[in-house]
Amino acid sequence: RKEVEQDPGPFNVPEGATVAFNCTYSNSASQSFFWYRQDCRKEPKLLMSVYSSGNEDGRFTAQLNRASQYISLLIRDSKLSDSATYLCVVNHNTNAGKSTFGDGTTLTVKP
Amino acid sequence: DAGVIQSPRHEVTEMGQEVTLRCKPISGHNSLFWYRQTMMRGLELLIYFNNNVPIDDSGMPEDRFSAKMPNASFSTLKIQPSEPRDSAVYFCASRGLTSGSYEQYFGPGTRLTVT
C-alpha cells in the first residue's frame, strides 16, 4: 500500500461544477498536509495548506480528518483554468520534514 | 523574489555521458530536495538536504547518481554514466522552516533526454 493514495481520476467535469478529491495517508504521525497543483509540463505549485479546522480560499476548500487519515479538496464553480493535476502532500515532521507526494488526480474542466 | 533556479532547463545527451544538473534554492531556505518525475512513476524524491547535510538519499536509484550541496545557495545532481531510462524531468525544491512551515517551492525543472 502506498503511503499517500489519491483518487485515481481522471475527473472530467463541465464548467461550474463542484468537484471533490480525496487523499488518504497511512502514517498516523503525519502532521502537515498540503495540496499542490501541477499544470502540464510545469512544476508543482502550492495551492493551499490543510489545517485541522479546515480552511477555505475562494472557491477552494480543504479539510483534514485525522481520525480517518484523509484530506479532501473541494472546488466549487469550476473554471476552465482549474484543469490541472492536483497532488496531495503529507509531511512527516518526525523525519526531519520529509514530504510524500501522492500520484495526483487529473482534472479537466470542459466548456 | 527570485524563486528556485535550475539549469539547464533542457538537456539532451547520449548514453554514457556525464550529466550535471544545478539548483539554486530560495535565499534563506535551509532545506533542499531533488525529485524526478516520469509518467510511469510519478514524482519521486531522490535526496534531500537540511542545512547542506544530506538527510535521506534512499531514493537515489543507484551509484550512478550523486548529489552535493557545498553551500546554502547551490546544489548539484550528477548522473555518471547516464542511461536512456534516466530520461525524466528533474525538479529541485527548497523550503524554509520558519514558523514550522513545511511548504516546498519548486524550480521549473530540467527536462533530461538520454538517447
pLDDT beyond 60 at A96: no
Mean pLDDT, residues A67-90 = 95
pLDDT in tens, B32-46: 999 999 988 889 999
pLDDT beyond 50 at A95: no
The set of residues, in sequence order, having a beta carbon less than 8 Å from that of B47 and lying 6+ positions away, is: B33, B34, B54, B56, B57, B59, B60, B67, B77
- Selected residue of A48, A93, A98 to mutate for chain B interface (largest B Cβ count, 10 A): A98
**pLDDT for residue B61:** 87
Find, in chain A, the residue whose alpha carbon is nearest to that of B89: A41
pLDDT beyond 90 at A31: no
- Give the count of Cβ contacts less than 8 A between chain A and B: 46
pLDDT beyond 60 at A94: no
Residue A29 corresponds to which amino acid? A
Mean pLDDT, residues A37-65 = 93
Mean pLDDT, residues B44-70 = 93
**pLDDT for residue B1:** 64
CA distances to A51, A61, B41 from A33, rounded to whole Å, are 7, 13, 22
Mean pLDDT, residues A39-67 = 92
Using the CB atoms, write b or e for B50-84: b if 16+ within 10 Å.
Answer: bebeeebeebbeeeebebebeebbebebebeebee
Min CA distance, A42 vs chain B (Å)? 6
A66 touches B at CB < 8 Å: no
With cut-offs at 50, 70 and 90, classify the pLDDT of residue A42.
Answer: very high
**pLDDT for residue A30:** 82
A2 touches B at CB < 8 Å: no
Residues 68-87 of B with CB under 8 A from A: none
**pLDDT for residue A76:** 98
pLDDT beyond 70 at B99: no
Residue B74 corresponds to which amino acid? F
**pLDDT for residue B36:** 96
pLDDT beyond 80 at A97: no
Give CA–CA dist A36/A23, Å, rounded.
12
Mean pLDDT, chain B, rounded, equals 92
User: Which residues of chain A neighbour B95 with C-beta distances below 8 Å?
Assistant: 97
Nearest 5°: CA angle at B85, between B108 and B13? 65
**pLDDT for residue B82:** 96
Give CA–CA dist B30/B49, Å, rounded.
8
Strands (DSSP E) along chain B, which ranges?
A: 5-7, 10-13, 19-24, 31-38, 42-50, 53-56, 65-71, 74-79, 88-95, 105-106, 110-114
**pLDDT for residue A62:** 96
DSSP character string of A17-57? --EEEEEEES-TT--EEEEEEE-TTS--EEEEEE-TT-EEE
Mean pLDDT, chain A, rounded, equals 91
